[in-house]
Structure 1
């Protein structure tokens, strides 16, 4: 059975949506993800633009401006709900970890 599309988000998907809480162009998203994660998360430009296209088709983001090849996007209510759901899922995982292994930091 195929995986339900966008049931969970990859790390790259999560950060793209997170960055779109305000209007941004693709290059600005790439820079914001690198800055926000201190270079821990890397997104290739091909992956970024493919995901922006998929998110737009799913109604999770919308294009708000186009100036030649430069396009700006912002998250929609549907995208915000998905981002919030993923945030709650990640927090639940962390709570499970703390419940079973305590609050000590992993090595």
Structure 2
């Protein structure tokens, strides 16, 4: 996933898993919190993202637990996932810097 940019949902799912493994609903809640409520993942979207991240070996199944008669799958960030997240964070920061520099230059030229 390092050769192409990462989708925002993938970026936020990886970010949600940085501190500890989480189950699906926990990931949904953390992504919503991280995005300030701007991104609310639907279950189908979440598991599509998790499937792609698992196929790329950026996340892995950590464990399964029975909870109220249902199986909860917990996912964890892999080392490759942490590396990909770091690369994407750097790429995004560089893009933000470029945009801000250009906007400052535009403002300085009186084009505001």
TM range (shorter): 0.7 to 0.9
For residue 50 of structure 1, report the CA deviation from its aligned partner: 1.3
Maintained 8 Å contact 2:9/2:49: no
- Max Rg structure: 2
Segments of 5+ residues of structure 2 without an aligned counterpart are 108-112
For residue 61 of structure 1, report the CA deviation from its aligned partner: 0.7
**Post-superposition, which runs of at least 4 consecutive aligned residues in structure 1 deviate over 2 A?**
none
Segments of 5+ residues of structure 1 without an aligned counterpart are none
Please, what TM-score do these two structures have when normalized by structure 1? 0.85
Q: Which residue of 2 aligns with 1:58?
A: 56
Q: Within 2, Cα distance between the matches of 1:23 and 1:100?
A: 39
- Superposed CA RMSD in Å reads 2.0
- How many residues in Structure 1 have an aligned counterpart in Structure 2? 101
Q: Does 1:44 align with 2:46?
A: no
Q: Which has the higher contact order (CA 8 A, sep 6+)?
A: 2
